[in-house]
Amino acid sequence: AYDLVSELIEKIEKSRLNAYVTVTKEEALKKAEEYDRGRRDGRLAGIPVAIKDNISTEGIRTTCGSRMLENYIPPYDAHVVERLKQEGAIIIGKTNMDEFGMGTTTETSYFGVVRNPHDLKRVAGGSSGGSAAAIAGDETVLSLGTDTGGSIRCPSSFTGVYGLKPTYGLVSRFGLIAYANSLEQIGPMAASIDDLGFLLEIIAGRDDRDSTNSGREFSYRPVSKRFRVGVVEEMQANPEVQQVFEEFVERLRKIADVETVSLPSLKYALPAYYVIAMSEASSNLARYDGVRYGYALENLDSWNRYFSRVRAEGFGAEVKRRIMMGSYALSAGYYGKYYLKALKVRTLVINDFRRAFEKFDVLISPTMPSTAFKIGELTDPVTMYKADVNTTPINLAGLPALSMPVRELDGLPVGLQVIGNHFEENTILGFAKQVE
């Protein structure tokens, strides 16, 4: 373990990927030494795991990719971190991410963009860009990401790794620094399906400190059968990616029952997602006032000036945009027009998926409408938001979905999205194994 961990750390220190915000060198090497001396309790004993930097780690800086939390050291562990430690995992570091998870390219991070191991001029996706690049670039064995509207699946797709967003309520959010509570889940990222299922088994399960936790445990037992597969008509990609996807569907017809399925409400899902996500964000981010948490200034002259300066300096542009838009959508007079309407769309989306799962075991689509963007390519926010068109409906409905690499296109990975019904993680993992 010592050799493995020191090799990884050496690689990270020389790396150009910028996948890590913090490397926990001493602690990781110490744990590895203990393992080598024979302390091998737990199902993850001796295995290095990287953790997204919005998941609280006791005594280890947790920044959320923001200047606001640049020096924040949590006094407790998130539920998932407790579980990893109980199983003997070696926490190797905290991974880079879009500021507070708000982005699709990791370009909004205060700590700089994460580069794609397949092409250093391209992004690794976001917001869990660091967790994905660390796997793809062999800078960890396993990692944890979080997915509010695609943040595990997008970077998995762009870097060619496996990433799973669990059913809402399967994995406790205790200790996850909130962006949009009703949408997000912590999930596993790995280089194989078995690793993904195994890591999910460890982090899932009952935790009474998260009131939305389902109390269910998960044991990894991938389903094997002839699958009924729905190809979602509304989830499309650019012509090149679409062609790769359609070739995959053609091959799939030999081993599964494949049909096209239409979910008409999906055309409203993306705007509904952004209204809900921004509304929840505007409320969650009100706590960063420079007194209770994070970035603080000297010279408290007037409270109002202090509060605005802390937030002006501590937050980046994308975060400010979302706080303003979210506050707008929730304000009296606009609430019914935007927020309430978005909630109604959410119900329609849930109903469309419910109908589809009466007929199909899994639904599939391209994860992202394109391969990885060039760094700096997305210059306006709306173009960036549109990249989330196939991933955000899943979070509105609270469903589990994974992204797996299918093929490369000009040297860049293309991801397949596999969606399952609530708590059907073993179905989507089983399907993924069959088509791998």
Q: Which residues are catalytic?
A: 52, 127, 151
**Contact range with ligand GLN by CB under 6 A, out of 3-11, 136-144, 147-155, 295-303:** 147-155
Contact between 400 and ligand GLN per CB under 6 A: no
Contact between 205 and ligand GLN per CB under 6 A: no
Cis peptide before 127 (omega within 30 of 0): yes
Contact between 102 and ligand GLN per CB under 6 A: yes
Count of C-beta atoms within a 10 Å radius of residue 127 = 35
Kindly provide the residue ranges of all beta strands, DSSP E only, lying in 244-392, ordered along the sequence. Answer: 257-261, 362-366
Helix (H, G, I), strand (E, B) or coil at 292: coil
Contact between 103 and ligand GLN per CB under 6 A: yes
Contact between 149 and ligand GLN per CB under 6 A: yes
Give me the residue whose beta carbon is nearest to ligand GLN: 151
User: Is the separation of the CB atoms in 172 and 196 below 8 Å?
Assistant: no
Contact between 101 and ligand GLN per CB under 6 A: yes
The alpha carbon of 2 is separated from its chain's Cα centroid by a whole number of angstroms, namely 29
One of 63, 151, 371, 426 touching ligand GLN (CB under 6 A):
151
Contact between 147 and ligand GLN per CB under 6 A: yes
Q: How many residues bind ligand GLN (CB under 6 A)?
A: 13
Contact between 127 and ligand GLN per CB under 6 A: yes
Q: Please report how close the Cβ of residue 71 comes to ligand GLN at its closest, in angstroms.
A: 23
**Long-range pairs, 325-328, Cβ under 8 A, ≥24:** 325/274, 325/278, 325/282, 326/277, 326/278, 326/279, 326/280, 326/281, 326/282, 326/283, 327/282
Contact between 53 and ligand GLN per CB under 6 A: no
Contact string (CB under 6 A) for ligand GLN, positions 334-373, x = contact: ----------------------------------------
Strands 90-95 and 401-409: unpaired
Q: Please report how close the Cβ of residue 328 comes to ligand GLN at its closest, in angstroms.
A: 17
Burial 380-397 (b: 16+ CB within 10 A, else e): ebeebbebbbbbbbbbbb
* Closer residue to ligand GLN, CB minimum distance, 369 or 430: 369
Tokens representing residue 223 in the block: 């389903």
Amino acid at residue number 54: N
Contact string (CB under 6 A) for ligand GLN, positions 165-194, x = contact: --------------x---------------
Chain residues that interact with ligand GLN, rule: CB under 6 A: 101-104, 127, 147-151, 179, 277, 388
